[in-house]
A and B are shown apart, each in its own frame.
Chain A
């Protein structure tokens, strides 16, 4: 009998422990994270505006904080990643280079914007008389994203030196002023090498084609030889582990797709007119659906023409065609696509040779063209409403960057058999609507 009471007591005790421990719902398995064979103690991010956190046509503190390298570094910290230093603007100078902000919508539903011109980090005018200087950040930097840099610029001495022929102010702010090879004249590759990272991401090459594309074909595409030799120099100084990220199809972004040419052509037709463009060769011709009218085009704005009593919408007359820099014509588009493919082949080969991961961002951007749903939110490359692209139509929103960061984490995890956790992208903003 005593034995039975002992057992009952024990059972009661056990069940009360069971009840007590069950007070909060608990998952059967703990979250597992691991870095696999990766050494993430010092991550260095190499790249252009996308790497810097550029958004809304400017580089400012919020974009820097939500840059994809900062998100990656944050996620690396779950698996033993080291500290990550970005050249952040101060809170007082939080608006950095200045940027554009959405102020509302016009009567026709088009977004209206304004420039943010307060709390800038601009300290003066450069020796070239046109490039504003930015507040210096001369300590060691691990996010080396330099807005505007092309692959071919990475080996150029003086690319960041304040001089009358022009320079890059975002690189200039990271360098000392002295005109010495190891100082103000330091080429970008040497700056990357000096960080002595253990892991890298490299997203370069976009501007080698994008410059041509966004200028409507005015700025030349980097040549094969220039690209290859600069790429080789860069690969040589990068750490042994990392990710090479390729170049997305630039014509998939809202900068090229928002003012859809086919739609403009039908609007012209409805007005009993046709849409005319100036090609890269200087000829004026009717627009084709395979031409891309740029977001910055003033197409449709009524303009006075000599000898015509009524103003004519811009582009709706052979005497007032869209200018060359307002259009990427079909020949130029073909050149952009060919160059993108060509450069991506070189990037892929470089990643294979160095035995590092290769992120096919080109393929990813193509998949999102059709739109997708994540966390009950619809995403698409649409301007303003698509949640991915910021107000400049080329760079991403913080949430767009977070989605890219998660995509890179998947690539890293799969190549290195690691288990770096992804981030909750809903915690990042898309375009703010007034």
Chain B
């Protein structure tokens, strides 16, 4: 029952149901040995690496070391030069000018487990990311007018799942960076009331890599990398109201910044066959990514001279993030663009924190927040495997001299475990769990 049929010009010997060997086989004499299965090598499911933004979506709430130590409250307080971010209206209520530099070491880890039935797990191996903040204010001591400039990083994400995990055709790694540069004016109308406004110019970059399910003759998997710079504009408005010595209120609005990538680079790693190359012709891409607007109401309360309590309620208008779309200059498998729905929801973040001045040298802080996830069911993605998150923090300030303060903070974030079928986002179905440890330090120089 051996059937050998020649397929057109090629010596394509075909025998399907019987011995499958045709005459062209050479005779070899060799000994037989059992070979140990290579199979087990497959098992240790991909052990991988990653980091992620520490708030909902890809927002990074790390804009002042004192505020981080108290749950990132600050809108209703006039603590230091970081008011340029937290509430430009409070800047003019600061007694001194100063410059502040701070940096955090964001160490986030995400675990992934494939949907029920399988047991593959993966862990991100994210590079340590370092959100930073620099603020400086200027103005005459008696003048009601203050000028300031802030450079800070309110959005960003760095997630690296590697190129072995089960979801690699969704994502290998994503790095998103946005640096806001915000010149600011603040005006103190009275001892009780101040206004402020800042113009935001944002520069950033995006780098996204994912695997393509095509393997070459050496088993190397294909991939695509999108890499581009981005920029955008926005503004930051704030009002600060201090009716009594013990009570202060703040309200701010930070506008949406639409980050636009123009002519970013598209790079493919593919099998060399021309038929394949013909399918992947794009070399450049355009994209837009909205960094959402925020409205924050903050209250500060000073029951005693040494104790300050703050509460913030923050509304993040994530609904601006409808979809992630890349437009290409040439076709990828015949498509001129790819678009994945995101349909984020607006969310509230609730924050509470306190600081206590132990002595002239030492001030200690603690705080917590609860951050609802903007990602709806069915829309989870491996780039931001988001869930409702809980943050607890502590911090301190050491006053080294009249002019120099040192701040330190530590924030721990624990996101709820979340299982999603990712059916609407084209993401990767499964269960995700994220935690992050974020120590930070800052230095203040007052003049």
Contacts and interface: CB of A to CB of B under 8 A. Distances in A.
Given A98-B21, A376-B167, A392 B119 contact: no
A169 B22 CA distance: 12
A219 interface: yes
A100 B12 contact: yes
B215 interface: yes
Given A100-B12, A130-B2, A377 B169 contact: yes
A119 B2 CA distance: 22
B21 A132 contact: yes
Given A168-B18, A426-B166, A117 B1 contact: no
A295 B21 CA distance: 18
B30 A93 contact: yes
B400 interface: no
A426 B119 contact: no
Interface in A47-67: 48-49, 54, 57-59, 61, 65-66
B23 A49 contact: no
B117 interface: yes
B140 interface: no
B184 to A, nearest CB: 36
Given A27-B431, A58-B20, A298-B7, 8 more contacts: A25-B111, A27-B433, A65-B39, A90-B30, A125-B27, A132-B25, A211-B1, A422-B118
Size range of the interface on B? 35 or more
Contact of A298 (B6, B27, B42, B276): B6
Contact of A131 (B13, B19, B109, B426): B19
A59 B8 CA distance: 23
B275 A57 contact: no
Given A31-B119, A130-B2, A123 B17 contact: no
Interface in A194-239: 206-207, 210-211, 214-215, 218-219
A387 interface: yes
Contacts of A66: 39
7 contacts: A25-B109, A57-B20, A85-B34, A91-B35, A117-B26, A122-B26, A298-B6
B273 A27 contact: no
A430 interface: yes
Given A432-B216, A433-B216, A137 B32 contact: yes
Contacts of B435: 22-25
Interface of A: 19, 22-28, 31, 33, 48-49, 54, 57-59, 61, 65-66, 70-71, 74, 78, 85-86, 88-93, 97-98, 100-102, 104-105, 109, 112-115, 117, 119-125, 130-132, 135-137, 139, 147-148, 150, 166, 168-170, 206-207, 210-211, 214-215, 218-219, 255, 295-296, 298, 301, 325, 375-377, 387, 392, 394, 406, 409-410, 421-424, 426-430, 432-434
A121 B28 contact: yes
Contacts of A113: 10, 12
Given A148-B19, A207-B17, A424-B166, A433 B271 contact: yes
Nearest to A97: B21
Interface in B1-55: 1-3, 5-21, 23-35, 37-40, 42-43, 45-46
B109 to A, nearest CB: 5
Contact of B117 (A57, A101, A421): A421
B377 interface: no
B428 A375 contact: yes
| Closest 3 A/B residue pairs (Cβ) | A376-B169, A148-B18, A211-B17
Contact of A109 (B28, B117, B275, B428): B275
Given A78-B119, A296-B12, A434 B273 contact: yes
Nearest to B117: A422
Contact of B21 (A90, A122, A136, A139): A122
